[in-house]
Amino acid sequence: MSNSIYRWVIVAAGGLLGCLAIGAMFSLPVFLLPISRDTGWSVTGVSSAMTIGFLAMAFASIAWGSLSDRWGARPIVLIGSVLLAVSLMAASWATSLIAFQVVFGVVVGTATAAIFAPMMACVTGWFDTHRSLAVSLVSAGMGMAPMTMSPFAAWLVSGYDWRTALQIIAVVVAVIMIPVSLLVRQAPALAGAAAASPEEEAQSTMTTSQALKSPLFIILLLTNFFCCATHSGPIFHTVSYAITCGIPVMAAVSIYSIEGLAGMGGRVVFGLLGDRFGAKRVLVLGLLAQAFGALAYVFAAGLGSFYAVAALFGFIYAGVMPLYAVLARENFPLRMMGTVIGGTAMAGSLGMATGPIAGGMIYDALASYTWLYVGSWGIGLGAFLIALTFRPAPRYQQAAAAA
C-alpha cells in the first residue's frame, strides 16, 4: 500500500472535491451583505443560513461516514456532488428568508458533509506512512477555497446580482466535482489487497459501539467542538469586520484569501510536524496558539494588521484540523473510520455553527465585533485544556511498540 502511486491521485481528488464543496458553502460570507441589501433580510437572518448549514453538516457527517464504511467513498461523494450543485441552484431561486435558510442551510450543508468524512477516511486507509502529511494535503486542497472560490464569488457578485453569481457557482460545482468523484477508489487495505497493519491487528476486536462510547472518542468530539467554535466566528465575520473598520470590500475579501493561503502552509507544516513529533503533541500546542490568534483580531485596524493577524490565525487553525483524522486512524479500526471521522466532523460542524449566529447577534446588538473575538479566545483555551486529557489507546500503544 505504501508504494502505490494511485494513493496520491486519491489525495488530489480529495483536495479538489473539498475545495469546491467548502468554497461553495463559504461563498455565503462574500454574499452576506449583497443578499441583505437586495432582499431586506437581516444580517443575522442570512448568517443563520450558515449556522443551519453547519448543523446540517453535523448530523449528516456521521450518517455519510457510516454509509461510506458500507458502500465505499465513491458513491457517497458522487451523491454529495450532485446534491450540492442542485441545492446551490435552488438556493439562488429562494424568494423568502426561510426558503433560503432551508435550501442553503439544510441541503447545501448536508451535501457538503458527504465530501469531508468519506474522503478523509478513504485517504487514511491508503496510507500507512506519511499519513499526517497525506490528510494535511487533502485539507490543504480544502483550504484553497478562500483563495479560489471566495475571490471568484466576489468577482461574480461585483458584476452580477447574487442570484446569478450563485447559479454560476452551481454550474462550476457540477462540471468539476461529478467527474472527479469517479476517480475515488476503495483503500487496498479494505479491499484485501494489503496485510493488516500492526495497529489494525491490535484493534481487530473493537466494535463500533465500543469505539463510539470510548473516552478517547468523546475527548476527540469535545476537543473538535471547542476548536471549531473558536475559529468559526472569526472565519465567517472577517470580511464584515474588516469592512466595518473602513476597509473596501475587495480588500476585505483579500484578507480572507490571505488567511486561506496561510492555512495551506499551516496544513502542510503541521502535517510534517505531526509525522515527526506525533499528532497529539502538535495538536495541543496548536490549540493554545489558536486561542491567542483569535484574540489578536481585537487589535487589528488597518489593512496591514489585518493581513498579519489573518496569516497567523489561518496558519494555526487550518494546521490543527487534519490532525483529528490522524488521531482517529491511530486509535480506531480502519473498517469504521468513516463513522469515527464522521463523528468528529459532526462535533466540529456543531462548533462551526456557533460562530455565524453568535457574531451576527453580537454585531447587531453592539455594532462591534470585539466580544466575538474575546469569546473565541476563551473557548480556544477550553479546547486546549480538553486536548491535554487525550491519551492514545492502549491497544495502539502495544501495536506501535511491536511495529
Show the 3-state SS of the chain. Answer: CCCCCHHHHHHHHHHHHHHHHHHHHCCHHHHHHHHHHHHCCCHHHHHHHHHHHHHHHHHHHHHHHHHHHHHCHHHHHHHHHHHHHHHHHHHHCCCCHHHHHHHHHHHHHHHHHHHHHHHHHHHHHHCCCCHHHHHHHHHHHHHCHHHHHHHHHHHHHHHCCHHHHHHHHHHHHHHHHHHHHCCCCCCHHHHCCCCCCHHHHHHCCCCHHHHHHCHHHHHHHHHHHHHHHHHHHHHHHHHHHHHHCCCCHHHHHHHHHHHHHHHHHHHHHHHHHHHHHCHHHHHHHHHHHHHHHHHHHHHCCCHHHHHHHHHHHHHHHHHHCCHHHHHHHHHCCHHHHHHHHHHHHHHHHHHHHHHHHHHHHHHHHHCCCHHHHHHHHHHHHHHHHHHCCCCCCHHHHHHHHHC
> Which of 47-56, 139-148, 341-350 comes out lowest in average pLDDT?
139-148
Instruction: Say if CB 84 and CB 138 are below 8 A apart.
Output: no
Which triple of cell numbers denotes residue 164? 446569478
Rg (CA), the chain: 20
Q: What distance in Å separates the CA atoms of residue 4 and residue 8, rounded to the nearest whole number?
A: 8
For cell 500503544, name the residue.
397
Q: What distance in Å separates the CA atoms of residue 85 and residue 82, rounded to the nearest whole number?
A: 5
**pLDDT number for residue 193:** 43
* 361 is a domain residue: yes
What is the CATH classification number for the domain harbouring 221? 1.20.1250.20
Percent of the chain with pLDDT over 70: 92
Q: What distance in Å separates the CA atoms of residue 187 and residue 11, rounded to the nearest whole number?
A: 12
* 194 is a domain residue: no
- 385 pLDDT tier (thresholds 50, 70, 90): very high
Q: What distance in Å separates the CA atoms of residue 245 and residue 241, rounded to the nearest whole number?
A: 6
> Which of 197-201, 279-283, 387-391 comes out lowest in average pLDDT?
197-201
Question: Which has more pLDDT, 7 or 164?
Answer: 164
Which triple of cell numbers denotes residue 67? 454509509
Q: What is the mean pLDDT of the chain?
A: 84
Which triple of cell numbers denotes residue 325? 483524522
Report pLDDT digits (tens) over 268-277. Answer: 888 888 888 8
- Mean pLDDT (whole number) for 224-252: 85
**Predicted confidence (pLDDT) at residue 3 exceeds the cutoff of 50:** no
Number of Cα atoms under 13 Å in the Cβ half of residue 342: 30
* 200 is a domain residue: no
- Scored b (16 or more CB within 10 A) or e, 248-270 reads ebeebbbbbbbbbbbbbbbbbeb
**Predicted confidence (pLDDT) at residue 304 exceeds the cutoff of 50:** yes
- Mean pLDDT (whole number) for 148-175: 90
From its phi and psi, is residue 156 left (phi > 0), alpha (psi between -120 and 50) or beta?
A: alpha
Residues 6+ apart with CB under 8 A from 295: 373, 374, 376, 377
Which triple of cell numbers denotes residue 359? 457574531
* 397 is a domain residue: no
**Predicted confidence (pLDDT) at residue 215 exceeds the cutoff of 50:** yes
Residue 69 Cα to chain centre, angstroms = 20
Tell me which range, 19-33, 285-299, 331-345, is most confidently predicted by mean pLDDT: 285-299
- Mean pLDDT (whole number) for 174-195: 79
Tell me which range, 28-37, 150-159, 172-181, is most confidently predicted by mean pLDDT: 172-181
Global pTM value: 0.74
Question: Which has more pLDDT, 87 or 53?
Answer: 87
Report pLDDT digits (tens) over 124-144. Answer: 888 777 777 888 888 777 777
- Mean pLDDT (whole number) for 305-319: 91
- Mean pLDDT (whole number) for 315-321: 90
**pLDDT number for residue 241:** 83
**pLDDT number for residue 315:** 92
- 30 pLDDT tier (thresholds 50, 70, 90): confident
* 196 is a domain residue: no
Domain range holding 308? 6-188+206-391
Helices 249-277 and 28-39: crossing angle, nearest 10°? 150
CA dist list (Å): 285 to 81, 193, 270: 35, 37, 11
Residue 212 Cα to chain centre, angstroms = 21
Report pLDDT digits (tens) over 102-119. Answer: 999 999 999 999 998 899
Which triple of cell numbers denotes residue 174? 457540477
* 341 is a domain residue: yes
Number of independent structural domains in the chain: 1
* 15 is a domain residue: yes
* 398 is a domain residue: no
- 399 pLDDT tier (thresholds 50, 70, 90): very low
